[in-house]
Amino acid sequence: MKRTIITNTRDNKINNYSEILDKKYGAEGTVERNAFEQEAYDFYTGMILHQARKEAKVTQEELAKRTGTTKSYISRIENGSIIPSVGVFYRMISTLGMKIEIVKTIG
């Protein structure tokens, strides 16, 4: 499914980010584009966890202790360098007072 993101910039030019991403990383479904999108998801996941940790006023060291990991592992997750396993991810979000809801779509 092709997603098109259109934005208006400060110079009032309309940008179609799907075209920009196609030019820079290849069309959707290509190895290069998939790699870029995976890196983007990893980074975004890290940013969500970082922000949640800060809002919960928990240090990386405290989060590591509570989740059975290390401070450097938490740091690498927050920097988007690695993506945590599902088990660690669930422990992290639970520790930070968050939850994930899995919903099956109809149709």
Tokens describing residue 24: 């820079």
Q: What is the pLDDT of residue 1?
A: 47
Question: What does the pLDDT look like over 39-90, one tens digit per residue?
Answer: 888 899 899 999 999 999 999 999 999 999 999 999 999 999 998 999 999 9
Tell me the pLDDT band of 102, cut-offs 50, 70 and 90: confident
Question: What does the pLDDT look like over 4-51, one tens digit per residue?
Answer: 555 555 666 656 777 888 888 888 899 999 999 988 888 998 999 999
- Spell out the domains of the chain, with CATH numbers in brackets: 6-95 (1.10.260.40)
Coil, strand or helix: which one is 70? coil
DSSP type of residue 90: H
Amino acid identity at 92? M
